[in-house]
Amino acid sequence: MSRRVFFNGCAVDTGAATLGELLVAQGHDLATAMACAINRDFVPRAQWATRVLAEGDCVDVIVPVTGG
């Protein structure tokens, strides 16, 4: 089942059922340092594999950047 979500502000049609599946589909390595929120609510890493996505969810991924 395909659903439209907003990934870092961009509309994405995806077949991913969970946050973890979406992250992988978007090219993220789940072992790297990053933080995720759905609809502005922080999602702990332990819940990425089970956090189900709904139509219209806003997913924000924040990746730390080194340097200054």
Instruction: Please give the pLDDT value at position 67.
Output: 83
Q: Which fold has domain 3-62?
A: Ubiquitin-like (UB roll) (3.10.20)
CB 25 within 8 A of CB 16: yes
Q: Whole-structure pTM over 0.85, yes or no? A: yes
Q: Place 66 in a pLDDT band, splitting at 50, 70 and 90.
A: confident
Q: Which 8-state DSSP code applies to residue 25?
A: H
* Helices within the chain (DSSP H only): 19-25
What does each C-alpha distance from 51 to 20, 21, 30, 62, 66 come to in angstroms? 8, 10, 14, 17, 29
Side-by-side strand order, sheet with 3-7: 10-14, 3-7, 58-62, 35-38, 41-43
Query: Which of 1-5, 41-45, 50-54 has the weakest average pLDDT?
Result: 1-5
What are the domain boundaries of the chain? 3-62
